[in-house]
Amino acid sequence: MSAIFLSLTKPAISLSRFLLERLRNYWMLIKDLQTGLLLFTALAGYISGCCLNLSTPSLGALVGSLFLTISGSTILNMVYDCDIDALMRRTIHRPLPSGKVSIAEALVLGISMSSLGIGWGFYMNVNYGVVLMVGLVFDVLIYTIWLKRRTPYAIIWGGLAGGMPALAGRTLAMGYPDTIGLLMAAGVLLWIPTHIMTFNIKHASDYQKAAIPTFPSIYGDKVTRLVIAGSSLASVCIMLITGNLIGLPLTHLWGLTLLGLLLLLLVIAGIIRPGKTLNFTLYKGASIYMLVSMLVIIYGGL
């Protein structure tokens, strides 16, 4: 009797394992940490403009539509970059270059998710849907397909795409893009070089192998660190201006100031005593700075 039961349940167990493995591989395609950080910037933009009208359904719709759009665009980027991912040590084990997910499968998934996200966005608010669509165009068509393999200045367009979730959240709250939303997007845009260029320095050999032009490979590490310093300073200043315009309490503004000073201290230390450990610390510290800054804005808007 037990043998018959095992023979009947074995296909179900195998199917469950197969589905879990597919879901795990799909999840790896969306870069969950990056997507999560962008969602926090969107929440900060939204809550900063709608604290009197905050509701669970509206937050759910914001997170759902943005998750689909961001994840879909990330998957489409991975589809296009599959060839160079196969050349780099840090990306060779991703689902596409390793063959765990087929190109066709990922392409259908990416188009479906991004289309659903943008369509949902237009249903919620036309201006919000437009911002989502512009973000996808910047990220996939302009940054990844057109410029990434041609110029290190592609990072500007990547930064613009990275700033769109914050602008989208604010646009959904207000009904239209406003100055504060644009400033939040600019803060993220100017933060992007700190995040990306430290990563470029850390994985310089990989980018060289894949023939991807980066600031360190074209202008050298020293110039790159100076660019990081200027960009970080501008980002910190814009975040403080944004917090002031939103009307954050003084304690929250001091919190943003302290976070900015800590980030700038890391940047200065990286210029004075450059090294792998400090570069990696700055890379991680930049993400923590942006995440906590957005949490401060969210908490101040509740």
Closest of 152, 170, 162 to residue 186, by C-alpha: 162
Can you tell me which residue has the tokens 């304690």? Answer: 251
Amino acid at 13: I
Percent of the chain with pLDDT over 70: 92
For the chain, the domains span: 30-301
pLDDT of residue 58: 81
User: What is the C-alpha to C-alpha distance for residues 102 and 41, in angstroms, rounded to an integer?
Assistant: 32
**pLDDT higher than 90, residue 19:** no
- Span 230-285, pLDDT tens digits: 999 999 999 999 999 999 999 999 999 999 999 999 999 999 999 999 999 999 99
State the angle between helix axes of 250-272 and 179-202 in degrees (0 to 180), rounded to the nearest 10.
Answer: 30
- pTM (two decimals): 0.92
CATH class of 30-301: mainly alpha
